[in-house]
Structure 1
């Protein structure tokens, strides 16, 4: 029996053995990523000129929006004891 009593598939059961192997990226996703990469590469040359035309406030706003892609997100740690806790962020 392939299914449990509640109708769900038992863990480790493959219903379509000829399907895409686990971990293989979706073809459409890979094509879309390549298309976006090509678009970004073509626009990046113009980005510097566009940034120069912005006001300092607008440039700062863009910088703040881009920071999460460069720096790890910090988390607040609240401790109710007197112990010292060290937090390391992945790079």
Structure 2
């Protein structure tokens, strides 16, 4: 059972950046499982329909690549000076050429 915060000998709880032991162990087990069953996984992959392979590939990518977060950029042109607007216009012209 977990100790209440401040009662475990560490008054701050687990410091930031300290890896979670359970997660670390589970990832190691999953990695080992995949390595041990690589040939079977490859056979199963080839037996899938192309659309199912794409779905599986997409799902697996989530484990290999970081998820990108969308960001909104807003610009209030009314608050910009004429010089700032001219600079933006020049940059856009240069990109087109």
Q: Structure 2 length as normaliser, TM-score?
A: 0.48
Q: Which has the higher helix share?
A: 2
CA RMSD, 1 decimal: 3.4
Judge which range, 53-62 or 69-78, deviates more: 69-78
1:38 shift after superposition = 2.9
Tell me whether 70-79 or 29-38 shows the greater mean CA deviation. Answer: 29-38
Q: 1:16–1:80: structure 2 CA closer, same or farther, 3 Å change rule?
A: closer
Q: Structure 1 regions of 5+ residues with no counterpart?
A: 1-7, 85-91
Work out which of the two has the higher radius of gyration on C-alpha atoms and give 1 or 2.
Answer: 2
Q: 1:73 aligns with which of 67, 71, 89?
A: 67
Equivalent residues in 2 for 1:42-53, closer than 5 Å: 42-53=36-47
Q: What secondary structure sits across from 1:80 in the alignment?
A: coil
For residues 31 and 72 of structure 1, the distance between their equivalents in structure 2, rounded to whole angstroms, comes to 21
Unpaired runs of at least 5, structure 2: 78-87, 89-97
Q: Name the SS for the 1:47 alignment partner.
A: helix
TM-score (norm 1): 0.51
Q: State the alpha-carbon separation in 2 of the partners of residues 56 and 15 from structure 1.
A: 54
Quickly say closer, same or farther: Cα 1:48–1:77, change in 2 above 3 A.
same
**How far 1:61 moved relative to its partner?**
0.5
- Number of residue pairs the alignment of both structures matches: 68
